[in-house]
Amino acid sequence: MLAIEAASITKIYKGARQAALSDVSLKVEAGRIFTLLGRNGAGKTTFVRVCATQLMPTSGSISVLGYDVAKQAKQIRDLISVVPQEGRPLRALTSWDHVYNWLQIRGEGKQIAKDKTEEILRKLELYEARDRPAMNLSGGMKQKILVAMAMATDAQLLFLDEPTIGLDPMSRRQVWSAINDWKSKGGSILLTTHYMDEAEMLSDYIVIIDRGAVIARGTIQELRRVIPQNIRVDIARDGLDVDALRPYGSVVDTGAGMLRVFTFESAVRELSELALRKNLTFTVSPVTLDDVFVYLAGRGIGDDQNSSD
């Protein structure tokens, strides 16, 4: 079964010169974590908002959990839950107030709402601070309240638009754990993130969007193959001639005093010896999703971006 099926979705905001989404077609299988990656303004949030019945597309069709977003929004809204990008909890309300009342608003009885609230607050380590108003909580804890509100529901499909933004590494892992628990219960998730490690850790399938169009899609393994080489070697730049590295593969300046060479296992030994001879630090690792992302979406950085993401 498909959680989302989008066919030729285009979205042009009123007064915009450029389409925020241009002829986007994709399928999200139920029970999986589907991640949208893209630069700021790429169209990720626009796509999420269209699917979550918050925004009408200009053209094309989307069905969410078998219902048409344009004509059957009411049916979809019973089955979904969202964490909006840059959302904030209400200042005077506690995490308990938010989750417990939200569950009741969605139709849960008091006892079930109470149990579910306690469970999610414990899972996200918000329980100890359950009586503190949001205005007295850290930015990360505030963000976790929004995640808790969405994940405490019995929705079938979650839309998480940059849910871990501003969270410390431990909090991010708590959210990841909650996301995986959700998936293990059969739930589907559409996730957007700027964190490549998060995408690698969680995603079953990834779509990379750039300037409103899909530029790559696949599993992590499939996307890694976008870069012909499978190994990356980072070498300190100090006095090193870039041309001396070119025979080994593609060379990229990381901008942090390091040169990155995408290469194959066969060249690693020679590159290592080169670095050692010149007494330069170096690291060797497999090509990551981050490399793929920069390789695909990094072209044209600094060009005009769509401000309607």
Partner 1 sequence: MCLYTLQEEALEMTRIAVTSMLPVRQAFLIAYMTGVLWLRRNPMSLVFTAISPFSLLFVLFVISGGGYVVPAVVGSLVMALVGYGLALGQDISFYKTEYKVQDVFVASPVSPLTYMMGLALSELLFGLPALIVLTSLVMLFGASVFSIPLLIATILLIWGSMSAMGFFLSSRMLHMRNATQVISFVNVILAILPPVFYSIDRVPDILRPLAYAMPTTHASLILQHIMGKGTPGEWSLGFGFAVLIAYLIGFVALAKTKAIWREN
Under the binding rule (CB under 8 A), the answer on residue 87 touching partner 1 is yes
3-state secondary structure 133-188: EHHHCCHHHHHHHHHHHHHCCCCCEEEEECCCCCCCHHHHHHHHHHHHHHHHCCCE
Binding residue for partner 1, selected from 86, 125, 128, 265, defined by CB under 8 A: 86
Question: How many of the chain's residues bind partner 1 (CB under 8 A)?
Answer: 35
Under the binding rule (CB under 8 A), the answer on residue 292 touching partner 1 is no
Between 58 and 305, CB nearer to partner 1 = 58
Under the binding rule (CB under 8 A), the answer on residue 84 touching partner 1 is yes
For the record, the structure tokens of 50 come out as 């269209």
* 179 close to 120: Cβ distance less than 8 angstroms: no
Under the binding rule (CB under 8 A), the answer on residue 299 touching partner 1 is no
* 275 close to 282: Cβ distance less than 8 angstroms: yes
Binding residue for partner 1, selected from 56, 112, 242, 244, defined by CB under 8 A: 56
Rounded to 10 degrees, the C-alpha dihedral 270/275/278/280 comes to 180
Rounded least distance, CB 153 to partner 1, Å: 8
Under the binding rule (CB under 8 A), the answer on residue 139 touching partner 1 is no
* 289 close to 195: Cβ distance less than 8 angstroms: no
Rounded least distance, CB 71 to partner 1, Å: 12
* 117 close to 100: Cβ distance less than 8 angstroms: yes
* 226 close to 216: Cβ distance less than 8 angstroms: yes
Under the binding rule (CB under 8 A), the answer on residue 272 touching partner 1 is no
Binding residue for partner 1, selected from 7, 16, 90, 112, defined by CB under 8 A: 90
Under the binding rule (CB under 8 A), the answer on residue 81 touching partner 1 is yes
Nearest to 288 by CA among 174, 195, 158, 165: 195
Q: Tell me how far apart the alpha carbons of residues 3 and 213 are, in angstroms, rounded to a whole number.
A: 20
Binding residue for partner 1, selected from 9, 52, 120, 207, defined by CB under 8 A: 52
Between 190 and 297, CB nearer to partner 1 = 190
Per DSSP, what are the bridge partners of residue 136? none
Under the binding rule (CB under 8 A), the answer on residue 189 touching partner 1 is no
Q: Which residues bind partner 1 (CB under 8 A)?
A: 14, 49, 52-56, 73-74, 77-78, 80-82, 84-90, 92-93, 97-98, 101, 104-107, 133, 146, 149-150, 159
